[in-house]
């Protein structure tokens, strides 16, 4: 236990405190979500989600101790082994998984279920970090350096897609942040965002108007372009970009009708117009907004939420836990939660930047990116800014698999960070 002293001294207490705050607030809200005023729900009773979550928190604490005790070099050395184990579990679950809510992605252990997809984030983060720790790899010059990364992400993504967990698969989009930091040209995420924006604009307006607007903008760009740029190919580049964009606009229809499944299409349409299907998919969004909106500035008070008591909001203690915060603690509560998350991920970025090894830095960005993506999508869907995608709010949502995977993800980074004084820089 010679290392235990430096650990407690060097571990980043700010992150740990935010983590503990999130767990406590999350647990109290899970209790509020399952609370039944007529049955006197006990928050320590293992038969309800609040009691179970407390048990998950306890076991997460044990996991964290294990992580802090294990040598920090373990994670870098065995990153590909961990990756292989998780891939193996993902294959196993396809054949031996139990079916919960239509997706075959759970391994049943007695009365509790584990979801290997949750741990794929950790595995992919470690594998990407390990791969990028090679200083010879450069993301801004060589296209072929991207292929292994694509492979690392695509394999688990494909397996998760097979088990019908689209939400968990989308989380892999968060690795764009890491790649951007490590040198991916800025235009790639920019194109992605423009593509997404075009998708939404297309669904809102008449296609011909958008096509016209793109042509006008392209004309303006060409007109304003310096003559030299225009001669060097800027003219054609602009025209091609404009045509590609128009192509996307008209391709969206095809994409919406032929590529997406019916419920996914519905979720995007509802995002644009919740009233288009108020009884069906729109129900979740409307009810969630009502619950949050009814909280007002100060909220209705702990355990006083009424929207939640009649099961207006489905998945109250898991994916829609933010509604309970909004209803019972009002704008004050939601602001605190938003601040906690922004502070956590910003702090993680700062910590990542101070790492001496590239492995540690990349991994730190992975953790920040994953937590950010969950926050973005989960909170976004409860307030009607994102489509309904079933992914949990880290540290808040009920669920052992997600709590464990986020805790492990975070504390591996904290462990590596705590060992920073002993790490040799490798660039």
Structure token pair of residue 387: 């489509």
Beta bridge partners, 98, equal 106
Q: How far is the CB of 335 from another protein (least distance, A)?
A: 6
Beta bridge partners, 106, equal 98
Can you tell me which residue has the tokens 């464990």? 404
345 near another protein (CB under 8 A):
yes
Q: Which stretch binds another protein (CB under 8 A): 76-84, 108-116, 120-128, 304-312?
A: 304-312
Single out the residue of 104, 265, 289, 356 in contact with another protein (rule: CB under 8 A).
289
SS3 (DSSP) at 334: helix
Single out the residue of 28, 82, 246, 292 in contact with another protein (rule: CB under 8 A).
292
Q: How far is the CB of 228 from another protein (least distance, A)?
A: 25
339 near another protein (CB under 8 A):
yes
* Ramachandran region, residue 395 (left: φ > 0; alpha: ψ -120 to 50; beta: rest): left
394 near another protein (CB under 8 A):
no
Residue 293 CA to residue 330 CA, distance in Å, equals 8
DSSP conformation letters of 229-247: HIIIIIHHHHHHHHHHHHH
267 near another protein (CB under 8 A):
no
Q: Which stretch binds another protein (CB under 8 A): 194-202, 296-304, 388-396, 412-420?
A: 296-304
Using alpha carbons, select from 329, 344, 102 the residue that is nearest to residue 321.
Answer: 329
Instruction: Name the residue nearer to another protein (CB basis): 142 or 231.
Output: 142
DSSP conformation letters of 198-263: HHHHHHHS-HHHHHHHHHHHHHHHHHHS-HHHIIIIIHHHHHHHHHHHHHHHHHHHHIIIIIS-HH
Instruction: Name the residue nearer to another protein (CB basis): 67 or 179.
Output: 179
Residue 263's Cβ-side half-sphere holds a number of Cα atoms within 13 Å equal to 9
Number of residues that bind another protein (CB under 8 A): 44
Q: How far is the CB of 186 from another protein (least distance, A)?
A: 8
187 near another protein (CB under 8 A):
no
Within 163-206, where are the H helices?
166-170, 175-181, 187-204
Single out the residue of 260, 331, 420, 423 in contact with another protein (rule: CB under 8 A).
331
Single out the residue of 27, 172, 341, 411 in contact with another protein (rule: CB under 8 A).
341
Instruction: Name the residue nearer to another protein (CB basis): 168 or 174.
Output: 174
Q: Which stretch binds another protein (CB under 8 A): 118-126, 157-165, 233-241, 325-333?
A: 325-333
363 near another protein (CB under 8 A):
no
342 near another protein (CB under 8 A):
yes
Single out the residue of 195, 247, 278, 280 in contact with another protein (rule: CB under 8 A).
278
Structure token pair of residue 391: 């992914």
Single out the residue of 229, 263, 296, 426 in contact with another protein (rule: CB under 8 A).
296
31 near another protein (CB under 8 A):
no
Strands (E), 241-347: none
Residue 14 CA to residue 143 CA, distance in Å, equals 38
Single out the residue of 233, 293, 422, 426 in contact with another protein (rule: CB under 8 A).
293
Distances (CA, A) of 223 to 80, 197, 212, 238, 414: 52, 24, 16, 11, 52
Single out the residue of 42, 47, 276, 335 in contact with another protein (rule: CB under 8 A).
335
Q: Which stretch binds another protein (CB under 8 A): 91-99, 115-123, 375-383, 403-411?
A: 375-383
255 near another protein (CB under 8 A):
no
Structure token pair of residue 304: 């006083």
Beta bridge partners, 114, equal 107
Q: Which stretch binds another protein (CB under 8 A): 90-98, 208-216, 264-272, 305-313?
A: 305-313
Structure token pair of residue 167: 């939400």
Single out the residue of 295, 387, 390, 392 in contact with another protein (rule: CB under 8 A).
295
Residue 287 CA to residue 281 CA, distance in Å, equals 11
Q: How many CB atoms lie within 10 A of CB 146?
A: 14
Q: How far is the CB of 293 from another protein (least distance, A)?
A: 2
SS3 (DSSP) at 365: helix
Considering only residues 32 to 61 of the shown chain, the ones binding another protein according to CB under 8 A are: 38-39
Question: In residues, how long is the chain?
Answer: 427
- CA-atom Rg of the chain in angstroms: 23
Single out the residue of 119, 363, 372, 395 in contact with another protein (rule: CB under 8 A).
372
Instruction: Name the residue nearer to another protein (CB basis): 87 or 349.
Output: 349
Beta bridge partners, 107, equal 114
Q: Interface residues with another protein (CB under 8 A)? A: 38-39, 177, 180-183, 278-279, 289-290, 292-297, 300, 306-307, 310, 326, 330-331, 334-335, 338-339, 341-342, 345-346, 349-350, 353, 365, 372, 375-376, 379-380, 383-385
């Amino acid at each position: 236990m010679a290392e235990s002293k430096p650990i407690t001294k060097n571990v980043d207490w700010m992150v740990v405190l935010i983590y503990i705050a999130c767990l406590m607030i999350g647990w109290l809200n899970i209790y509020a979500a399952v609370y039944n005023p007529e049955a006197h729900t006990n928050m320590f009773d293992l038969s309800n989600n609040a009691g179970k979550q407390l048990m998950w928190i306890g076991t997460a604490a044990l996991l964290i101790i294990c992580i802090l005790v294990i040598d920090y070099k373990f994670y870098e050395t065995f990153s590909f082994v961990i990756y292989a184990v998780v891939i193996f579990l993902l294959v196993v679950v396809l054949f031996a998984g139990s079916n919960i809510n239509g997706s075959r992605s759970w391994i049943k252990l007695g009365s509790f279920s584990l979801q290997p997809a949750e741990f794929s984030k950790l595995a992919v983060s470690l594998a990407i970090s390990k791969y990028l720790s090679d200083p010879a790899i450069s993301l801004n010059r060589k296209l072929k350096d991207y292929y292994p990364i694509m492979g690392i992400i695509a394999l688990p993504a494909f397996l998760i897609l097979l088990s019908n967990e689209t939400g968990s698969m989308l989380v892999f989009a968060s690795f764009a942040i890491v790649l951007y930091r490590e040198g991916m040209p800025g235009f790639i995420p920019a194109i992605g965002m423009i593509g997404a924006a075009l998708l939404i604009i297309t669904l809102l307006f008449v296609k011909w108007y958008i096509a016209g607007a793109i042509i006008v903008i392209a004309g303006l760009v060409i007109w304003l372009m310096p003559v030299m740029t225009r001669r060097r190919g800027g003219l054609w580049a602009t025209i091609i970009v404009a045509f590609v964009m128009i192509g996307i606009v008209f391709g969206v229809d095809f994409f919406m009708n032929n590529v997406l499944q019916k419920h996914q299409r519905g979720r995007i349409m509802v995002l644009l117009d919740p009233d288009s299907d108020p009884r069906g998919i729109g129900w979740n969004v409307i009810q969630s907004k009502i619950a949050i909106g009814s909280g007002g500035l100060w909220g209705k008070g702990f355990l006083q939420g009424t929207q939640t008591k009649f099961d207006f909001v489905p998945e109250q203690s898991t994916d829609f836990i933010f509604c309970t915060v909004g209803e019972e603690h009002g704008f004050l509560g939601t602001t605190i939660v938003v601040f906690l998350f922004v502070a956590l991920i910003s702090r993680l970025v700062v910590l990542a930047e101070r790492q001496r090894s590239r492995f540690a830095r990349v991994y730190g960005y992975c953790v920040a990116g994953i937590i950010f993506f969950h926050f973005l999508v989960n909170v976004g869907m409860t307030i009607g800014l994102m489509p309904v995608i079933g992914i949990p709010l880290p540290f808040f949502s009920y669920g052992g698999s997600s709590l464990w995977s986020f805790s492990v993800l975070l504390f591996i980074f904290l462990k590596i960070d705590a060992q920073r004084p002993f790490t040799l820089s490798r660039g």
